[in-house]
Amino acid sequence: MVGNILALSFSPLLVILDEPFDNVDQERRHKLLDHLINMKATILLNTHEFDLLPRMSGWSIYFMIEGKLFGKFKADQIKRLYINKGEVEGNIAVMQTSFGKFSITENSGTIPIANVRNFNSIFDEVA
């Protein structure tokens, strides 16, 4: 948390944060997120905290799996995104991983992305 505070204390134009919500209690997580949302900076953020994504309305998100980026999605889309095994018709993205091929669909599919904690648990459920 101290590193996050130092990074944000000088009103930077570019902020790069790696897992800023790890080991931070709920109240401070929400305060930090509110601060980030209201910043006038470009923010590159790495997180496994899918539950925070809907609050980042308008933010672009990408999923990094095995060192590859997949996206571009919008954070406010997260509640409508699903992951499916294989390449399904009507997908908006296809991910080739060591677990196999998976498709991202919108509004219907096998597993709602918003209902899981992180991608590792999704692959366990879908695979």
Q: Angle at CA 118, nearest 5°, toward 116 and 119?
A: 105
Q: pLDDT, tens digit, for every residue of 105-122?
A: 999 999 998 887 766 677
Average pLDDT, the chain: 88
Residue pointed to by tokens 């998100």: 61
Q: What is the pTM of this model?
A: 0.79
What region does 53 belong to: left with phi over 0, alpha with psi -120 to 50, or beta? alpha
**What pLDDT, in 10s, does the model give residues 19-61?**
999 888 999 999 999 999 999 999 999 988 888 888 898 999 9
Q: Has residue 124 got a pLDDT over 80?
A: no
